[in-house]
Homo-oligomer: A and B are copies of this chain.
């Protein structure tokens, strides 16, 4: 849950007066996202989400994220749409933070995704990739292979606190992935964090995608590998092949995978698992005193990484050219 910055009612009323959204009717901090402070906002014009961007989101990246949402929404991908103020600007400042008002999206996250949800996700992810193909802005993925070693190094010495043998395993895996990471796969805008929290359903249908604050320019198949890690394991972190197949098959029906994407998939799956293992590991060791967010357990992604290490090739995931 995440409301890091409290908004004063007087400041909020002044901020809202720069928009054509009518009077403030209600504003409640909500437990959504872990990077920013989010509020449910009710005004004379309807329901919205007010987001205050906290320091983990670089202010220089905000135009990329907001433009992306506009780009996708204009191409039929249901996602929050930034609301522009009277001056035509989507990004303002509130309570000392960059702030934006975005449209409120109905839908709810699925805690226990079934194969049908994974199939819906596969289609939505492919449509997201296709809709973003002509997006002009670019943003490097700071959390891809070149970023992992610098992320791990400063706190490598504490790896035994989290799991026995973790330090050696990560070192070996970094070496493996750095030597083999595919650099020329079909690329474009990827979501890069499309966990169940960030996909809204109404019944069996996806009603929208949210939280584009890790979006970046990277390989499409890597985004698919992140989703496979996030959606296709059970509560004991065991791979569920029928969910993986549902995700991959639905994706490929909308956006066929090239032979090199298929060949690279086991490497991408290992990389995706390592990326979340490492960021969770760093967060786990660095819980600030008085933190209002409980860190997620990095060992979940250690288990997933070990699974992917056991995959001989892409056929493990049911992928064949």
Contacts and interface: CB of A to CB of B under 8 A. Distances in A.
Interface of A: 1, 3, 8-10, 12, 23-32, 40, 42, 47, 104-112, 200-203, 290, 292, 294
A106 B202 CA distance: 25
A111 B40 contact: no
Contact of A30 (B23, B31, B294): B31
B9 A111 contact: yes
A316 B32 CA distance: 47
A106 B32 CA distance: 21
Contacts of A40: 28, 30, 40
Nearest to A201: B9
A12 B292 CA distance: 25
Contacts of A24: 108
Given A1-B3, A28-B40, A30-B30, 11 more contacts: A1-B31, A1-B292, A9-B109, A23-B203, A24-B108, A26-B105, A28-B32, A30-B31, A31-B31, A47-B47, A292-B292
A294 B288 CA distance: 13
Contacts of A3: 1, 31
A69 to B, nearest CB: 18
A29 B1 contact: yes
Contact of A31 (B10, B28, B112, B203): B28
Nearest to A8: B111
Q: Which of A12, A24, A112 has the most CB of B within 10 A?
A: A24
Contacts of A8: 111-112
8 contacts: A1-B1, A10-B111, A26-B107, A26-B108, A28-B40, A29-B31, A30-B40, A47-B47
Contacts of A200: 26
Question: Which 6 A/B pairs are nearest by Cβ-Cβ distance?
Answer: A29-B31, A25-B106, A28-B30, A3-B31, A26-B106, A8-B111
A182 B29 CA distance: 40
Contacts of A292: 1, 292, 294
Contacts of A30: 28-31, 40
B106 A42 contact: yes
Contacts of A110: 9
B109 A25 contact: no
B112 A25 contact: no
Contacts of A27: 108
Nearest to A203: B23
Contacts of A9: 108-111, 201
